[in-house]
């Protein structure tokens, strides 16, 4: 049994090393994914600035056209005023001119606001585009280094998987089954050390009687609290 315990411990070491690699691979992927999402969000914001700039330009052109039309109308009515016969006609032309001038004043005000908005949007667009450029080049660099790391991790993982095959063969089938079951249920940790009476899987005390039995290493014991397989692990182990 002593040997089986030590074989299981070795298997657990290899499995943990493989798990660590898997975590490194997924967390690297997740980090890149987060960066990609941030970039997409910024691209969306920039697209919105550009759309607003576009509709602002359209509105400005419309207003400028209306102003020109109004100016032509004012000129026309001013010419007509010189030829009017009655005061009523004169007043009516005067009102038309005043109305057109007022409308143009409002259009001018709107134009000024639009230009201010334009300027702000241009500025925001420039700022966001600069940040986006930085983010994109950072992502490119990190993707490249991530790919390099992933290749290394994959080959390391392959080596460990091979090593695992060898270790698995040494463990008795029923013990292996038990080990795999516990590993699946307990976050990949099935075989844990007990030191000074404490289980290093759940950090609870094991009963003194059990602790004494563990020292003998003649039987595979389980932690009564976390149900993991236990081995005796002195301070320097
Ligand atoms: Zn435990």
pLDDT tens digits for range 14-30: 999 999 999 999 999 99
User: Ligand 1 center to residue 189 CA distance, Å?
Assistant: 10
User: Ligand 1 center to residue 33 CA distance, Å?
Assistant: 36
Owner of token pair 């602790």: 211
Q: Is the dihedral of CA 228, 231, 232, 234 positive or negative?
A: negative
User: Ligand 1 center to residue 225 CA distance, Å?
Assistant: 5
**What's the rounded Cα separation, in Å, for the pair 44 and 67?**
35
User: Ligand 1 center to residue 205 CA distance, Å?
Assistant: 8
DSSP helix/strand/coil, 221: strand
* Single pTM value for the model: 0.73
The pLDDT score that the predictor gives to residue 235 is 75
User: Ligand 1 center to residue 113 CA distance, Å?
Assistant: 70
The pLDDT score that the predictor gives to residue 237 is 57
**What's the rounded Cα separation, in Å, for the pair 13 and 25?**
19
The pLDDT score that the predictor gives to residue 46 is 97
User: Ligand 1 center to residue 157 CA distance, Å?
Assistant: 28
Question: What is the DSSP secondary structure assignment for residue 199, as one 8-state letter?
Answer: E
User: Ligand 1 center to residue 148 CA distance, Å?
Assistant: 39
DSSP helix/strand/coil, 193: strand
User: Ligand 1 center to residue 224 CA distance, Å?
Assistant: 7
Computed over every residue of the chain, the mean pLDDT equals 95
Which residues partner with 221 through β-bridges?
A: 230
Residue 104 CB neighbours (<10 A): 19
Helical ranges in the chain per DSSP H: 2-81, 87-170, 173-185, 208-216
Largest CA distance in the chain: 127
Segment 37-46 long-range contacts (CB within 8 Å, at least 24 positions apart): 38/135, 39/132, 39/135, 39/136, 39/139, 42/128, 42/131, 42/132, 42/135, 43/132, 45/128, 46/125, 46/128, 46/129, 46/132
User: Ligand 1 center to residue 4 CA distance, Å?
Assistant: 20
User: Ligand 1 center to residue 210 CA distance, Å?
Assistant: 12
User: Ligand 1 center to residue 120 CA distance, Å?
Assistant: 62
User: Ligand 1 center to residue 12 CA distance, Å?
Assistant: 16
User: Ligand 1 center to residue 188 CA distance, Å?
Assistant: 14
Intervals of the chain under pLDDT 70: 236-237
User: Ligand 1 center to residue 198 CA distance, Å?
Assistant: 8
Output phi, psi for 205, to 5 deg: -75, 140
Output phi, psi for 183, to 5 deg: -60, -40
Asked if 146 contacts 27 with a C-beta cutoff of 8 angstroms, the reply is no
User: Ligand 1 center to residue 175 CA distance, Å?
Assistant: 18
The pLDDT score that the predictor gives to residue 236 is 58
Q: Provide the token pair at 201.
A: 């899987």
Choose among 217, 207, 180, 159: nearest CA to 3. 217
């Amino acid at each position: 049994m002593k040997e089986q315990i030590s074989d299981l411990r070795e298997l657990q070491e290899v499995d943990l090393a493989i798990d660590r690699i898997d975590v490194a691979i997924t967390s690297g992927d997740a980090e890149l994914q987060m960066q990609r999402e941030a970039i997409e969000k910024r691209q969306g914001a920039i697209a919105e600035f550009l759309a607003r700039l576009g509709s602002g330009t359209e509105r400005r052109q419309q207003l400028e056209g209306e102003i020109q039309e109004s100016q032509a109308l004012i000129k026309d009515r001013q010419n007509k005023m010189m030829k009017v016969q009655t005061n009523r006609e004169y007043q009516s032309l005067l009102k038309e001119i005043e109305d057109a001038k007022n409308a143009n004043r409002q259009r001018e005000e709107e134009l000024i606001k639009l230009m201010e908005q334009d300027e702000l949007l241009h500025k925001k667009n420039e700022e966001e585009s600069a940040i986006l450029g930085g983010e994109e080049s950072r992502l490119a660099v990190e993707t490249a280094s991530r790919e390099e790391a992933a290749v290394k991790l994959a080959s390391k993982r392959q080596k460990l998987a091979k090593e695992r095959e060898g270790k698995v063969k040494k463990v008795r089938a029923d013990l292996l089954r038990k080990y795999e079951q516990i590993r699946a249920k307990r976050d990949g940790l099935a075989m844990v050390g007990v030191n000074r009476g404490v289980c290093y899987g759940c950090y609870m005390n094991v009963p003194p009687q059990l602790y004494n039995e563990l020292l003998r290493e003649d039987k595979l014991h389980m932690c009564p609290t976390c149900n993991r397989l236990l081995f005796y692990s002195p301070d320097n182990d």
